[in-house]
Structure 1
């Protein structure tokens, strides 16, 4: 049994993509929450010490000038996009946690080079707290998937899906896929957030994270048949139990906010963050010690993903 060590320390909400150029690209929330940082390497392991490039900095004031959270890098329709959440400065809104979703674009072949263009807010049509956007293409259609609060539903955030008109504009009305409802989803906070999409074995899988971002943080799973209408909530099945959670035995706590990538042989790798201790001093929001981990994803005989434990390769 091989125990896991962090791939990259102090990087939360990690996102790794292997592009058609053969390079791996990495982005994540930085502890200062003040910028978007990218790095690339020819191997997963190479990302550990790869040079970082700051491609966008938050403005000092305004609607998207605080708490830059959970950037994701996607190549959509011939250009690179980073989707991220940001909050307005307190001079605009008294409450700090009023995040909305935004996008920037780069038409260069290498997203660490060239110019990034601010595309503005990705407006879901619901003017409430929202974050953790991801995109995926299925059967020629581009979809947007994210977490958002509904004031009529108890809790902090639910998961929504919509088709996209452009890589920075939503088409049609958002559809809610899941809300916090099980005991392991409502510890500390009622949260469904951090969705990530995996398409394998005739199914579309959505992993997500739930509960407070301490040792209670855990991951859940939705899945639908690849031929189903992905905008129909009835097409999706939800696991009643978490698929990845704290491993007290080996001291890996609060695994979550994952992404999926592949190795050189197209085997799926699970990317996630976790802490290595539970005694957090002060506000957990400003604790930098959520680290990026990577491990192989396994599969059972029915073609369902097996996440195992966050602390070991198994």
Structure 2
């Protein structure tokens, strides 16, 4: 009987371990704003804002981010135009090489511009990262949160920028690229804060953090709206008609309501600045985002990365539901 009891205890322990290994809970890390990941050859490469450098994580599953290998791939020298306030880095594999995009300043927000690094190594955790320079259109206006995507074999960049030189309003812009570090067209404004849910933030209204999202042949841009310093930070969506040029703003339609927002019931505030990824088996769609655990925490270091699976409507709209409460066990992305 004693032997049988021990065997049953071992079986229960193994079953419990297997169940634990197949689930995870949010948040993925205790802090980390503007989370982004890129999947290649069975690995996820993850970044978030660290302010003074670019740190890259590598993992088989983003659910295991806490134990993932990570290295600092770039720390700029002092006293240049891109040495401070490094925001929202993204590491992407484009045209056979790795590129790291980031916004940075020389010390004042008005100086924020987009920059890019290049690495020809097959593994971005190794090799040499070369500073390629600023990524800009002819206007050279304030710019943050760049995302590069490919559509019909052409590269495009979307970002958050100012129309002029004053910090009054952040809009979403798009431009075509001739290569991963050079914009080749005029910038086109696709979105401005116009609905009340986009304008929370006192004197400055915000559209930022744009991310391209493809579903079949349908192209969308999901962006963050309202000030991150408010509890009303939320996600909005732009849909491309599928006809004509991406650089024709008339071909884009804005969804009138937020598609992901604060859930007081689940105690998740200001979810936003998201990105997207597929499960390892390529069959599931997931959203990766940051959020606060308490109201009033704003844009500080308490924002933490989270993720959850989402679905689609029959007409191709993403359904994110509500931000999942902390501590709720979720199934890991399917292998």
**Do they fold alike, i.e. is TM over 0.5?**
yes
Partner residue, 1:84: 102
Counterparts of 1:138 and 1:122 in 2: how far apart (Å)? 19
CA deviation after TM superposition for structure 1 residue 156, in Å: 2.3
Counterparts of 2:116 and 2:28 in 1: how far apart (Å)? 27
Partner residue, 1:63: 81
Structure 2 unaligned regions, length at least 5? 1-22
Structure 1 residue matching 2:64: 3-state secondary structure = helix
Does 197-206 or 227-236 show the bigger shift? 227-236
Pairing of 1:295-306 with structure 2 (within 5 A)? 295-306=308-319
1:165-215 CA distances to partner (integer Å, 9 max, x unpaired)?
110010111111111111011101311100011111331010000111131
Residue 5, structure 1, aligned to residue 26, structure 2: yes
Question: For 1:272, which of 276, 281, 289 is the aligned residue?
Answer: 289
TM-score scaled by length of structure 2: 0.85
1:229-274 CA distances to partner (integer Å, 9 max, x unpaired)?
2111111110111001100111101000000000023211101000
Structure 1 residue matching 2:250: 3-state secondary structure = helix
Paired residues, what number? 301
Pairing of 1:174-193 with structure 2 (within 5 A)? 174-188=187-201, 189-193=204-208
Pairing of 1:205-216 with structure 2 (within 5 A)? 205-213=220-228, 214-216=230-232
Counterparts of 2:31 and 2:319 in 1: how far apart (Å)? 26
Contact 1:3 1:311 in 2 (8 A): no
Pairing of 1:1-314 with structure 2 (within 5 A)? 5-19=26-40, 21-30=41-50, 33-89=51-107, 95-151=108-164, 155-188=168-201, 189-213=204-228, 214-266=230-282, 267-280=284-297, 284-285=298-299, 287-311=300-324
Structure 2 residue matching 1:159: 3-state secondary structure = strand
Larger Rg: 2
Quickly say closer, same or farther: Cα 1:157–1:308, change in 2 above 3 A.
same
Quickly say closer, same or farther: Cα 1:11–1:71, change in 2 above 3 A.
same
Counterparts of 2:259 and 2:168 in 1: how far apart (Å)? 21
**Where is the helix percentage greater, Structure 1 or Structure 2?**
2
Contact 2:261 2:270 in 1 (8 A): yes
Structure 1 unaligned regions, length at least 5? 90-94
Aligned residues: CA RMSD: 2.0
Quickly say closer, same or farther: Cα 1:251–1:4, change in 2 above 3 A.
farther
CA deviation after TM superposition for structure 1 residue 76, in Å: 0.8
